[in-house]
Amino acid sequence: MGFFDPLGFAEKADEATLKRYREAEVTHGRVSMLAVIGFLVGEKVEGSSFLFDASISGPAISHPGQVPAGYSAIIIAAIGFAELQRAKTGFVDPSETSFDNPGELNADYYPGDIGFDPLGLKPDDAEELDIMITKELQNGRLAMLAAAGFLAQEAVDGKGILEHFSS
């Protein structure tokens, strides 16, 4: 099939820059996959969840503002901890790199491989791993588009995504 780069981002990029692009793409794809699940599940369990006395309602884009302040701090701390662990795993310590090379990845780090595989799903075979990585990238790209579409749709008409299917 060849190398798909219609906007020419890779033309002037070296290998280290391409690795950073891939790290960003994998990370954003994973967050988007979680966001899409969050949109659908959050709206489906509305009013029946044990969390926050089932008081969170409406379109998913309004849910973060309805979470009590104390819980928001816990969520932000958990996200910060996860990001810190990812940074320690994949990135060179800023004190050990030059100022003109921010965000340098460790030489032995593969973008997205943070060593978290509690279910043992990562294949040992290199060919199977490449297939799984490709699937993750493709699903992540689709999820980025889906999450953007969900956000836009809810912002435009103020209705939840699942409400569109029932009307």
pLDDT (tens place) for every residue of the chain, 167 residues total: 467 788 888 888 888 888 998 999 999 999 999 999 988 888 887 766 666 666 777 888 888 888 888 888 898 999 999 999 999 999 999 888 888 888 889 989 999 898 888 898 899 998 998 899 999 999 999 999 999 999 999 999 988 888 888 76
The span from the CA of 8 to the CA of 52, in Å, is 47
- Closest of 70, 108, 69 to residue 90, by C-alpha: 108
The span from the CA of 39 to the CA of 142, in Å, is 15
The span from the CA of 72 to the CA of 78, in Å, is 10
Helix axes 15-44, 126-157, angle to 10 degrees: 50
The span from the CA of 146 to the CA of 142, in Å, is 6
What pLDDT sits at residue 69? 80
- The token pair at 40 is 């659908």
Amino acid at 167: S
The span from the CA of 71 to the CA of 47, in Å, is 18
Tell me which H or E stretch contains 54: none
User: For residues 13 and 21, is the Cβ–Cβ distance under 8 A?
Assistant: yes
Q: Which residue has the tokens 């998913």?
A: 60
Query: 121: how many CB neighbours lie within 10 A of its CB?
Result: 7
